[in-house]
């Protein structure tokens, strides 16, 4: 269970260059379902194993990347509490009215020191398909594609991640599950609001507001292998994998959508408890931390962002 007013990641909104190609990739290949298309052309997606209206939003644009990531809070009143905290920390908060995205209630948002927009919301309608709740079978509709079970987390690139760490811990009550410390300073942080190894992560990068990947959780290592078969069958561009992380222990593949946004499918990872110490990696072992089997860094993995 989550141990703060923030429950978990709610949704992420990505920019794509070719909407039909993006829809085919995220529905037929990754295994999401299209819930609806908004009047402005944004497309709303979810896994059949998620209750809330959507978890993934696609917006047609001239450049790929991320617009925002939103987290769901326990109660509507938590939005007022967090707005006060965020404002007192020094960030300007704006308000997004209910219905700006279909099925989603009022939201608050602000921009981090790394240049990324974060939002919080409480209300989300349910939408089909979703898990059964009375005498429930394992799935309500037959899984397809890579059989993604949920949008799980994102990794974002930008400057000032030391301030991001301070903000997420002091204002949003996240915990830092793991970090990488280099001789010249902090390289990366993995932050959790609950009992997962991470819900959001940041890597220090000179350009603000950059996107590294959005990740989808799969049931097992066998499903990661099945996803690799799909990537090969449909000539999906693979970055690295199947492999494993030392950091978080997840079993993983990284690949790209048709617009060049990086995706991840993964399974596993350890359970985090709020009394756990932060796991720390140093410069001499960071290769093993990122790619446990290869024990060395992949230049493209570190440098290619949208």
Q: How would you list the strands of the sheet with 6-16, edge to edge?
A: 33-37, 43-46, 56-60, 6-16, 65-73, 117-121, 107-111, 94-96
Catalytic residue among 157, 213, 217, 272: 213
123 is catalytic: no
116 is catalytic: no
Catalytic residue among 25, 153, 205, 212: 153
198 is catalytic: yes
Q: What is the DSSP letter of 87?
A: H
Catalytic residue among 198, 205, 217, 272: 198
What is the rounded distance in angstroms from the CA atom of residue 35 to the CA atom of residue 261? Answer: 21
264 is catalytic: yes
Q: How far is CA 273 from the centre of its chain?
A: 20
Peptide bond into 242 cis (omega under 30): yes
Q: For residue 296, report the phi and psi dihedrals to the nearest 5 degrees.
A: -155, 155
Catalytic residue among 25, 212, 264, 272: 264
217 is catalytic: no
What is the rounded distance in angstroms from the CA atom of residue 174 to the CA atom of residue 190? Answer: 10
Which helix or strand (DSSP H or E) is residue 29 part of?
A: none
Catalytic residue among 26, 157, 254, 272: 254
Catalytic residue among 33, 157, 245, 272: 245
The residues annotated with a catalytic role in the active site are 153, 198, 213, 245, 254, 264
């Amino acid at each position: 269970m989550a141990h703060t007013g923030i429950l978990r990641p709610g949704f992420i909104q990505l920019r794509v260059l070719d909407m039909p190609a993006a829809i085919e990739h995220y529905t037929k290949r990754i295994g999401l379902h299209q819930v609806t298309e908004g009047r402005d052309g944004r497309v709303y997606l979810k896994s059949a194993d998620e209750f809330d209206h959507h978890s993934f939003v696609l917006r047609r644009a001239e450049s790929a990347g991320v617009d925002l990531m939103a987290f769901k809070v326990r109660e509507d009143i938590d939005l007022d509490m967090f707005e006060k905290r965020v404002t007192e920390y020094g960030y300007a908060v704006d308000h997004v009215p209910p219905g700006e995205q279909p099925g989603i209630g009022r939201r608050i948002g602000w921009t981090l020191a790394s240049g990324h927009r974060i939002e919080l919301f409480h209300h989300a309608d349910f939408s089909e398909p979703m898990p059964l709740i009375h005498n429930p079978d394992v799935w309500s509709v037959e899984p397809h594609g890579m059989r993604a079970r949920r949008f799980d987390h994102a990794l974002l690139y930008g400057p000032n991640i030391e301030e991001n760490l301070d903000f997420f811990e002091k204002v949003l009550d996240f915990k830092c599950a793991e970090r990488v410390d280099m001789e010249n300073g902090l390289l990366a942080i993995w932050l959790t609001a609950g009992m997962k190894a991470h819900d959001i992560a940041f890597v220090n990068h000179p350009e603000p507001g950059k996107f590294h990947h959005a990740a989808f959780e799969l049931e097992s290592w066998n499903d990661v292998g099945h996803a690799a078969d799909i990537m090969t069958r449909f000539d999906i561009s693979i970055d690295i994998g199947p492999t494993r992380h030392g950091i978080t222990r997840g079993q993983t593949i990284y690949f790209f959508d048709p617009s060049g946004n990086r995706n991840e499918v993964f399974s596993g990872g350890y359970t985090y408890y709020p009394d756990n110490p932060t796991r720390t990696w140093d410069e001499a072992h960071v290769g093993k931390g990122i790619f446990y089997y290869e024990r060395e860094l992949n230049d493209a993995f570190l440098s290619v962002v949208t």
